[in-house]
Amino acid sequence: MDKILEGLVSSSHPLPVKQVIVRRVVESAETPLSQAQCRAMFALSTRLILQGPDPFQRQVGWQVLEAYARFHRDEFEAFFNRGLVLGLLQRGYGGLGSRDPAILDYVQAGLRLIISCPSVLELFALLQVEALRMVCERPAPPLCARLCQLLGDFPQCLPRGRKLSLAFCQQLVRSMAHFQSQGSREPELRLYVSQVTQVSGLLRSIWKAEPDTLLPSLQELFAVISSTDTSFEPSVALASLVQHIPLQMITVLIRSLTTDPNVKDASMTQALCRMIDWLSWPLAQHVETWVIALLKGLAAVQKFTILIDVTLLKIELVFNRLWFPLVRPGALAVLSHMLLSFQHSPEAFHLLVPHVVNLVHSFKNNGLPSSAAFLVQLTELIHCMMYHYSGFPELYEPILEAIKELPKPSEEKIKLILNQSAWTSQSSSLPSCLSRFSGKSETGKTGLVNLGNTCYMNSVIQALFMATDFRRHVLSLNLNGCNSLMRKLQHLFAFLAHTQREAYAPRIFFEASRPPWFTPRSQQDCSEYLRFLLDRLHEEERTLKALSSAKPSENMMSSESLAQETASKAQVFTETPCTGGEERTLIEKMFGGKLQTSICCLNCKSTSQKEEAFTDLSLAFCPPTSLENVDMRSITHSSEVKDDCMVQTSIVASSPVEESALDTSLAVSDGCQTVRNEGILNDLLPAELSSENITDSDLYRVQDSKNVSQKPVSENTPSVTDLLNYFLAPEILNGDNKYYCEKCASLQNAEKIMQIMEEPEYLILTLLRFSYDPKCHIRRKILDNVSLPLILELPVKRTASSLGVVSKGWSVDVEFSDTGENLAKKLKPSGAEEVCCPELVPYVLSSVVVHSGISSESGHYYSYARNITGSGPSLGLCHQSKTMALASHGRLLAGEISHAVIENDLDANEMSKEWFLFNDSRVTFTSFQSVQKITSRFPKDTAYVLLYKKQNCSNGFNANSANGLWVNGDPPLQKELMDAITKDNKLYLQEQELSARTQALQAASASCSFRPNGFDDNDPPGSCGPTGGGGGGGFSTIGRLVF
C-alpha cells in the first residue's frame, strides 16, 4: 500500500484522480494491517509531511498519518517513540534542519495522537529538557513562537521544578531580546508581532501559574536592557512583556531599581532609553505607565543626571511617535511628563519646537475625532511650556498662530500642572531616614535664604517681587553690560521666578543694597531698608539718564572706550513701551506720589503751600480721643469754606432732623463730577448739608464703611483707614507750635492740612510702631492690633488745571528722599488758589510685612503677599470712583453699590486668589483671613509695612505684549540671564543628586525628619536671631534661629 501511495502522489495523473485514490487509501486504514505495513505507512506519511515538495503531498501525508494512527494506535505508539522525537529535535529529518518549525508541528501532532497512551509521559519528560535546550540556543521568532504554541497546548512539556522553570523563563526572556523582524512590509510585520505575542503569552501563563518566577524574570529583563555592551541591541519585542506585569508591583520594583547600589548610572540610563524605545511596539499596554514610574522614581532619589541625559537623547524620538495612531496615547503621556518635569532649562522643549507646527497642521487636516482630542491635549502641553519658558517670540510665534483656534488652559491650571510635574516635586517613597531634598514648595514660589538676620531684606524683596507690575518692569529693562543695583535686582527677580531651588541665597544683592550704617548680621528696620533701597534705585537711574543726555563736548577728555561705555549706559533703562512720563524714573512711576501741605493762618486767612514727592507714607497711631474726633466729625468746623465743590465724606448728624434724613456714612467720588452736576447735588442734599457748610478738611478723608459704627471708634480696633484719616486730618498749630505768618509778620495760630495731589501706582504705608523711650533709651514697639482693609480708597486732590502745577508764588524743591514726616518745614508764601476736584482712588491690598517681636532691635520679619496685576479685580472700582460722587445715604448715585458690597465681592473672589506666606526659605499657602487674624492669634506679630496696588481701569503695563507672546505675563528674559539661570538649575540638580547619594550611603545610621510645607494657621510664622523677639507668643525652637 505504501508503494502504491508513494507512486501515486509523485505521478503525473490529474489532481482529481489522485484525490479519489488517496481517499480510498485513507479509508483502507480501517482494515487490519501487519506491524510492518503500519510502520511503512507511518514512515511514508512522515516523509511526505516533512519533505513533501508541494502542499498536496504534505496534505496527503497528514491525512494518512492521522487515519492510520487512529486505527492502529499501538503501532503508532511504537513508531512515535523517544528516539524518533529526540532525533527530530536534535538532528532534524533528512535535509530538514532541527530548527525548522515544521519539526515542532509534527511533534505536536504526534503528541495529540498518542495523548492517551502511557508512553506520552516519557515524551513529556523528554520535551521538558529539550524545550529548555532550545530556548538556550536563542531560536528565531518563528521557531520560538511554534515552541511556545506547543508548550501552551501541552503544559506538561514545560520544565518542572523551581530551578528549571526559572531558568526557562529567564532564557526565554533572553531569546526574545534577540528577536528581529524578517521584513519591513506590513504582512511580515503583522506575522512578527503575532509571533512575539505568542511567546509573551506563554511567559504570562507561567508567571500566573508560578508567581515565584516573575521577579527573577523581570530582573533578567532589566539586566538585558541595562547592558552597556554596544555590540548587542536588545529587541523592542521585549515591550510585549510589560503588559503582563501586574501594575501593583510598580512601587516595589521601581524602588528596588532606583535604590539598588549595584545598578550603575550608565546601566540605568541604557535601561530607561530602551524602555522609551518600547513605545514603538504597537500592541504593548502600560509601557508608558512603567516609563513614567521609573522617571518619577529616579527624580525621587535625585538622580537628575540620568534624567537630563535620557530626556535630551529621547525627547525627539518620543515626539515622532505621535505620528503613529497605535502608539500615540502612550507617547503623548511620556512626552508630557518629560517636558513638564524638565523645568530647569528650555533645551528639551526647544528641540521639539521646529516640528510642532507640522504635526498640528497634519492633525487639523485629517479631521478625525481622535486627532481633535489629541490636539487639545498637545495644545495644553505646549501652552504650559511656553508659559514656563517665555522670552522666545521668534520660536513661539508660528506655534501660537497654528494653535490659536484651540482651547487655552487657564493660568491657574498651568501653574498647578507645572508645580506638580517638576522633578523636585516628585514624592519619594524612600524610608524616612533619607532626607527629602525638595525643590520649590507646592506654591511654586521661591524662598530667600536668611544670610544672618537678613529677614528684614527678605521680607521686603518678596513684597516687591509680588508687586507684579513693578516686577515686570524690572525684568523688561535692558541692562546688559551694566553693573548697577537695578541690574542686581533684575538678576534676583529672575532667579526668584525661574530657579528650581527651594530658596535662593541673595548674597550679591544684599552686599550691594545694604545701607552703610547697617551692621552685618544684626537685626535692622525693614522700613528703613525699603526706603534706602528705593532711593538708591531712583538716584542711580537718574544719574545714568543724566550721563546719557550729556553733550559730546563735555566728554572731550574721555577715551574712546569710556565714550562707548557712556553710550551703552544710555540704553540701560530702556524699557518696553509703557505709559507715563518719559523723564520719570521707574521708582517714581511705580511708588512715587506727591503730597501737598497747606498752612492757613487763622488770623489773615492767607495760605502757604508746599508740594513734595513721597514713596511711602508713615502713619502714626492716633490717641483714642483724636481718633474719635476724626471719625465722628460734626458738620460745623472752625475753618472757612475754600471751594464750592466740596462734598462731605463722613457726617454725624447734629440734630434729629438730620439723623432721620441721612445715614451716618456718606460716600464720595470725583469732585469734578460734583462741579458739573451742581444742580443735582443741591437737589439731593438738604439745606443743612449745602456746600457752604462743608470744609476742605472734611473732603479729603478716607472712607471705610466696614469700620463705621454708631458707637465711639475708640472701642473698636483701629484700621489702616483710621490711621490714614489721622494722617490727613487738619492740625491746629498753636502754643509753642505757632506758625510764623509772613503776611502778619508774627507767630499766629494756623491750620495745617496735607493733601495727596498725585497717587502712586503702589501705595506703601508704614505703621509707626516703634517709639523712643527716653527713660530706657530704646525704641519700644506699639503692639496695638490694626485692621487691614482689603480695599482702601485714597483721597486725591485733582486740580482743574491740566498742568497740575503748584501755585505761582512757590518754588517747589522736590527731594525724592523726603518722607511725609516733616513736610510742613521750609514753607514759602503762596499765590492764588486753584479749584480742586476730589477723587477717591481705589487700592487693593497686595502685601503685608509683619514684624514679630517687641522691639526694633530684635525679632523677625516675614511677609504675606499675593499676585495682583494692574487690571486686577477692579469689580467696577474705577467706574465707581468716577460715578459715586455726590454720595448721599451711600447708595443714591451708586446704583446700590457700596464699599461693603464691593468688599464682599472681593472676599468671595478670594477663593480663587492665592495668598502666600514668605518666611525666609519657606513659602506656604495662606489666606487673607490669616493675614487679618495674625495679631489676635500671635500678639507680638504685627503688620508693619503695607503695599496697596492701585486699581486702574486699564493695566499700565501690557502684560501680554503687542504680539501676545508673553504667555505668563512676565517679559522675556535676556539670553545672558536665562543662560545663568539654566546653568544654576543644572548645578542645583547635581547638588541634589550628590546629596541624595551621600544620604543613601549613610542611610543605615542616619536618622532625620523634615517638617512638610503646609498652611501656617496653627504655628507662628517664625523668628529670627537668638533672642527671637518672642513673636508668636513664646514659640521658639532651634529651627527658628539664624546662625
Crossing angle of helices 455-465/526-549, nearest 10°? 60
Q: Which residue has the cell 492510520?
A: 68
Q: Let me know: does 789 contact 705? Beta carbons within 8 Å.
A: no
End-to-end CA distance of the chain: 105
What cell numbers appear for 198 in the block? Answer: 505568542
- Dist CA 635 CA 694 (whole Å): 7
- Which residue type, as a one-letter code, is found at position 546? A
Q: Which of 672, 860, 899, 1024 is catalytic?
A: 860
Burial string for 295-313 (b: 16+ CB within 10 Å, else e) reads bbbbbbbbbbbbbbebbee
Burial of residue 868 (CB within 10 Å: 0-12, 13-18, 19+) is: buried
CA distance linking residue 672 with residue 652, whole number of Å: 25
d(CA 493, CA 495): 5
Q: What is the dihedral of CA 539, 446, 415, 988, to 10 degrees?
A: 120
User: What nine digits make up the cell of 379?
Assistant: 495644545
> Interior CA angle at 178 toward 174 and 184, to 5°?
150
C-alpha dihedral, 189 to 195 to 197 to 198, nearest 10°: 170
414/381 Cα distance (integer angstroms) = 9
Of 38, 157, 455, 1024, which residue is the catalytic one?
Answer: 455
Backbone angles phi, psi at 764, to 5 degrees: -100, 120
Report d(CA 450, CA 457) in Å as an integer. Answer: 9
Question: What is the 3 state secondary structure string of 968-1018?
Answer: CCCCCCCHHHHHHHHHHHHHHHHHHHHHHHHHHHCCCCCCCCCCCCCCCCC
Residue in the structure block whose three cell numbers are 491750620: 751
CB-based burial, 58-78: b 16+ in 10 Å, e otherwise:
bbbbbbbbbbbbebbeebbbe
Q: Is 455 a catalytic residue?
A: yes
Return the SS3 of 75. Answer: helix
Q: Which three cell numbers stand for residue 670?
A: 470725583
Helices (H) and strands (E) in the chain, counts: 38, 18
Q: What is the DSSP string of 848-896?
A: EEEEESSBTTS-EEEEEEE-B-TTTT-TTHHHHHHH-TT-STTTTTTTT
Distance (Å, rounded) from C-alpha 36 to C-alpha 1040? 100
Cβ neighbours of residue 407 under 8 Å, at least 6 residues apart? 376, 379, 380
Grid coordinates belonging to 75: 503501532
Three cell numbers, residue 599: 498752612
Q: Report how far residue 462's alpha carbon sits from residue 863's, in angstroms, rounded to the nearest whole number.
A: 7
How far apart, in whole angstroms, are the C-alpha atoms of residue 529 and residue 460?
8
Q: What is the DSSP letter of 96?
A: B
Query: Quick one: 9 exposed, middle or buried, by C-beta within 10 A (0-12, 13-18, 19+)?
Result: buried
Strands 770-773 and 447-448: unpaired
* CB distance 827 to 608 below 8 Å: yes
H or E element: which one contains 770?
strand 770-773
Catalytic residues, which ones?
455, 860
